[in-house]
Amino acid sequence: MRTVLRVLAGLVLLGVIVAVVIFFGFTGAGPVPPASRDLEALDEETRAEMVSLGEYVAKAGDCAACHESEDGLALAGGTPMETLMGTVYGTNITPSEAHGIGDYSPDDLYRAMVYGIAPGGRRLYPAMPYTSYHAVSREDIDALYVYLMAQEPVEKPNRDADMAFPFNIRPLIAFWNLIYRPDPPEGPGPGLSAGEKLADTGRGAYLVDVLGHCGECHTPRNLAFAKTGEHLGGTVIEGAVAPDITPQGLAGRGWTETDLSQFLSTGLSPQGVMTFRMFPVLSHSTKYLPERDIEAVSAYLAQDMPEPSEPPSDPDAIDAHPEGHRLYVGLCAGCHGTNGSGQPSGSVPMVGNTTLMLDNPLNLQRVILEGIPARQLSGHLRMQEMPAFDATLAEAELEDLSGYLRARWGVDAIAMQDQ
Amino acid sequence: MTAMMTVFMTINGTETEPLEVPEDLMLLEFLHEYLNLTGTRYGCGQGVCRACAVIHDGPMGARVVPACVTGVAWAHGRAFRTVEGHADRDEEGNVTAVTPVQQAFLDHFSFQCSYCTPGFVAAAQALVERLEVDPVPAEDVENVVLEALNENICRCTGYVRYLEATRDVILATPGLTIGDGRAEGS
Ligand code: FES
Ligand code: FES
């Protein structure tokens, strides 16, 4: 009897061990394709080519969005990212041996980007967009590797993530990966290394969905922080609306493909200027994309887009919202114009403004209260500062003003038009 | 047709007559065209140079606003001080005594062409009045002055004389600072 029990216990234990091994095995890194070439034995010319392609991969992938340091060093780490579960900080990805990725092999970088698994099996939080990067090509990651290793190491220690229990138990990310991490596609293709060879929409999709990881902010997440099926459908993240950028969403707010290209390359379009976490996307990433890639991105975002709507305008809002109108003429019209036309390099037009057309007034109200700093956009294009009105407006006045703006040129004017 | 509205406000302590004006008239034009108070200057016209700054006396005390982009629709019923309203005047309206801020700007030769000066007078005066309510440690005065005058643009001088003049007024006026700037300052 005792022997039977002992055997049974042994079997159960074995089963548990096997299950754990299988589980963590499968939720660890998947297959790693062989390196595109021997990175140890590059001639000068190839190395230089890979460094410049790698730099482009880093820009298109917007590594700096999260890996920038507090003092503006692009890859030294420190940018906080706030989630419902706590705050994670972008890590040092300079080739520092002590703090960065100096001891990474090319395979290690592949595993981190595609599977979210750092050397030693440490699981990265899905704030690292490996569910987007999962389809980055091996060629592109190799080029990125050569580029990153060619940078000056910065000896800056990483800051530990500040996550609430139980999210601070990293091995548990294995369960998350089991459910939410997509499998890397079979042979993701040659990526950016393909140059002209990749068809435009393919390249656009690769830039938007994979490298550019737009969905990390623009796709709604579920309670487990995983992106839902409403791809690019818009959501609230870090206290601001990341708008719906599906073809339907964009067309409903009057965007054309040309507007998108202008917005991505300069930060400014008839619909407004980049704000909140989108502005750094311009300064770290999209302003560096050559015209051809910008066009590929816009073409992909505007694929099968319905006819864009005309900018809504409802003059009846003046009588319907007298308080809001009075505040607008008294505090805003000096720059934005009584008729909402704006001024070049000074203030964006209210007519056609995308922020007014969002269902959620959050961004509008935050911009009014906090203002927007003066900014160098791309090239010689600048926008002057918008002052903050938090000390000027009482809460009820803010509601009056934003209610008026949305009724005059925004979401409620669209509703009136559609009636 | 521009919509009209009737406005009145208190300018330099005197309430204006109710006046019928276009509803989108800016305060600066109102001062110039309707009240003949031409001391407030028009520079950029878009809220960045502060040549047009005037003091709004509101519930929060004295605060500067750019008159070029502040509409009468908001200014209606409120109280403002323009550059004409700082000094003491006699019955006939002649200046009898300038304010310490104005005197300091003169003593320091703070301005040359003076186009920016009404805006600097407003910003420095508003700062002095803010410190009367909410004094700062003496060693912070330089920073506080820089912050308060930083938005005012002057094309002639190097700003330093405006900043030094304002700092000296603040350090010399009892009650605006906590501690002794000279003893603690470095
Ligand atoms: S004229 Fe008003 S700020 Fe320049
Ligand atoms: S003194 Fe001339 S602009 Fe300031």
Show the domains of chain B with their CATH numbers. 4-85 (3.10.20.30), 97-178 (1.10.150.120)
Distance from the CA of A258 to the center of ligand 2, in angstroms?
44
d(CA A375, nearest CA chain B) in Å = 13
The single-letter DSSP state of residue A328 is I
Nearest residue of chain B to residue A319 (CA atoms): B3
| Rounded Cα gap, residues B22 and A155, in angstroms | 62
Q: Which two tokens stand for residue B50?
A: 């502060």
**How confident is the model at residue A187, as a pLDDT?**
58
pLDDT at residue number B184:
43
Beta bridge partners of B65: B54
Q: Which positions ≥6 away from B90 have C-beta within 8 Å?
A: B96
Residue A348: count other Cβ atoms within 10 Å of its Cβ. Answer: 26
Buried b (16+ CB within 10 A) or exposed e, B53-85: bbbbbeeeebbbbbbbbbbbbbbbebbbbbbbb
Compute the half-sphere exposure of residue A90: CA atoms within 13 Å on the CB side of its CA. 22
CB atoms B72 and A330 under 8 Å: yes
CA A39/CA A148 separation, integer angstroms:
13
Q: Which CATH number fits domain A317-418: 3.20.20.70, 3.40.462.10, 3.40.50.11890, 1.10.760.10?
A: 1.10.760.10
The helix (H) or strand (E) run that includes residue A88 is strand A86-89
The pLDDT value given to residue B183: 46
Q: Hey, are the CB atoms on B48 and A326 less than 8 Å from each other?
A: no
Which residue of chain B is at minimal alpha-carbon distance from A383? B48
Q: What is the pLDDT of residue A128?
A: 93
* Cross-strand bridge partners of residue B21: B5
Ligand nearest to the CA of B159: 2
The residue written with tokens 């395979």 in the block is A107
Q: What are the sequence ranges of the domains in chain A?
A: 10-182, 203-301, 317-418
- Closest-lying ligand 1 atom to the alpha carbon of residue B52: 2
B71 to A347: CB separation less than 8 angstroms, yes or no: no
CA distance B31 to A340: 24
Task: Give the integer Cα–Cα distance in Å for A53 and A290.
Answer: 13
Query: How high is the pLDDT of residue A185?
Result: 67
Cα(A372)–Cα(A40) distance, rounded to whole angstroms? 47
Chain-centre distance of CA A327, in angstroms?
35
Cβ-count burial of A119 within 10 angstroms (0-12 exposed, 13-18 middle, 19+ buried)?
middle
What is d(CA A316, CA A409) in angstroms, rounded to the nearest whole number? Answer: 11
CB atoms within 10 A of CB B2: 10
CA distance B24 to chain A (A): 6
Give the best residue of B2, B9, B24, B29 to mutate against chain A (max A CB count within 10 A). B24
Q: Which of A321, A329, A341 to probe the B interface (max B CBs under 10 A)? A: A329
CB contact under 8 A, A330 and B76: yes
User: Which atom of ligand 1 lies closest to the CA of B49?
Assistant: 4
Is A371 within 8 Å of chain B by CB? no
B183 CB neighbour count, 10 Å cutoff: 8
pLDDT score, position A58: 96
Across the interface, of A327, A335, A338, the residue whose CB is closest to B69 is A335
Q: Report how far ligand 1's centroid is from the alpha carbon of B112 (Å).
A: 19
Per the DSSP assignment, residues forming a β-bridge with B48 are: none
The ligand 2 atom nearest the CA atom of B114: 1
Below-50 pLDDT ranges, chain A: none
ipTM for the complex? 0.92
pLDDT, tens digit, for every residue of A393-409? 999 999 999 999 999 99
Tell how strand A375-376 and strand A268-269 pair up: unpaired
Percent of chain B with pLDDT over 70: 96
What is the spatial distance between Cα A334 and Cα B45, in angstroms, rounded to a whole number? 8
Task: Convert chain B into a string of H (helix), E (strand) and C (coil).
Answer: CCCEEEECCEECCEECCCEEEECCCEHHHHHHHHCCCCCCCCCCCCCCCCCCEEEEEECCEEEEEECCCCEHHHHCCCEEECHHHCCEECCCCCEEECCHHHHHHHHCCCCCCCCCHHHHHHHHHHHHHHHHHCCEEHHHHHHHHHHHHCCCCCCCCCCHHHHHHHHHHHHHCCCCEECCHHHHCC
Contacts of residues B128-136 at CB distance under 8 Å and 24 or more positions apart, as own/partner, are: B128/B100, B128/B101, B128/B166, B128/B169, B128/B170, B128/B173, B128/B176, B129/B61, B129/B62, B130/B61, B130/B62, B131/B170, B131/B176, B131/B177, B132/B175, B132/B176, B133/B61, B135/B175, B135/B176, B135/B177, B135/B178, B136/B176, B136/B177, B136/B178
Give residue B41 CA to ligand 1 midpoint distance, Å.
8
Cα→Cα distances B115→A242, A360, B47, B68, B158, Å = 44, 44, 16, 15, 14
Task: Name residues of chain B where pLDDT drops below 70.
Answer: 1, 180-186
Helix (H) or strand (E) holding A89: strand A86-89
- The two tokens of residue B111 are 């301005």
For residue B150, the Cα-to-chain-centroid distance in whole angstroms is 13
